[in-house]
């Protein structure tokens, strides 16, 4: 599940247009921030207990540090689950419209699966943002 979450995090198109539509962008940003910041916080919480000679508080500080270190793993686990979740009916029509638009441009892409998942949506969004021009994508993000 963690490996799937990491693959999904790499494959997801980190675009500002997708922020209001999908929670993946926020989760991925949070994971990347947590990977940078939380180890420092975890070590600091333990060192503070030791610096103030409060060794009775050390087990609690270690527990908090371990919990804090698990936060990025929780996000990656969620992404792994999300990757294999079936698309809801509203997104399936959006996904098919995007797929049809890419096919009409003459691009070679995998055929639509009967039961599409978020991982297929991530692949096609990533492909669309890399290969199609901006005018081809404007119709998708109209609200």
Residue 38: the pLDDT is 94
Give, for 134, the enclosing helix (H) or strand (E). Answer: helix 134-137
> What's the rounded Cα separation, in Å, for the pair 102 and 127?
9
Take residue 79 and report the two structure tokens written for it.
């992404």
Backbone phi, psi, residue 22, to 5° = -135, 140
Interval 108-115 mean pLDDT? 79
Interval 118-131 mean pLDDT? 88
Q: Which of 38-47, 75-84, 127-136 has the highest mean pLDDT?
A: 75-84
CB-count burial class (<10 Å; 0-12, 13-18, 19+) for 33: exposed
User: How does the average pLDDT of the chain come out, rounded?
Assistant: 88
- Whether 143 shows a pLDDT value over 50: the answer reads no
DSSP letter string over 103-131? Answer: HHTT---PPPPSS-BHHHHHHHHHHHHHH
pTM for the whole structure:
0.83
For a pLDDT cut of 90, what percent of the chain falls above it? 48
Q: Are 61 and 83 in contact, with CB atoms under 8 Å apart?
A: no
Residue 17: the pLDDT is 86
């Amino acid at each position: 599940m963690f490996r799937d979450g990491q693959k999904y995090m790499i494959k997801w198109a980190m675009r500002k247009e997708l922020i209001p539509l999908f929670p993946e962008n926020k989760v991925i940003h949070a994971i990347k921030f947590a990977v940078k910041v939380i180890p420092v916080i975890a070590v600091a919480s333990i060192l503070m207990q030791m610096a103030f000679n409060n060794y009775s508080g050390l087990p609690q500080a270690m527990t908090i540090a371990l919990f804090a270190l698990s936060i990025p793993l929780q996000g990656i686990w969620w992404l792994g689950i999300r990757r294999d979740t079936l698309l809801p009916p509203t997104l399936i029509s959006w996904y098919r419209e995007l797929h049809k638009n890419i096919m009409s441009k003459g691009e070679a892409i995998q055929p639509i699966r009967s039961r599409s998942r978020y991982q297929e949506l991530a692949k096609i969004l990533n492909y669309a943002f890399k290969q199609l021009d901006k005018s081809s994508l404007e119709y998708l993000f109209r609200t």
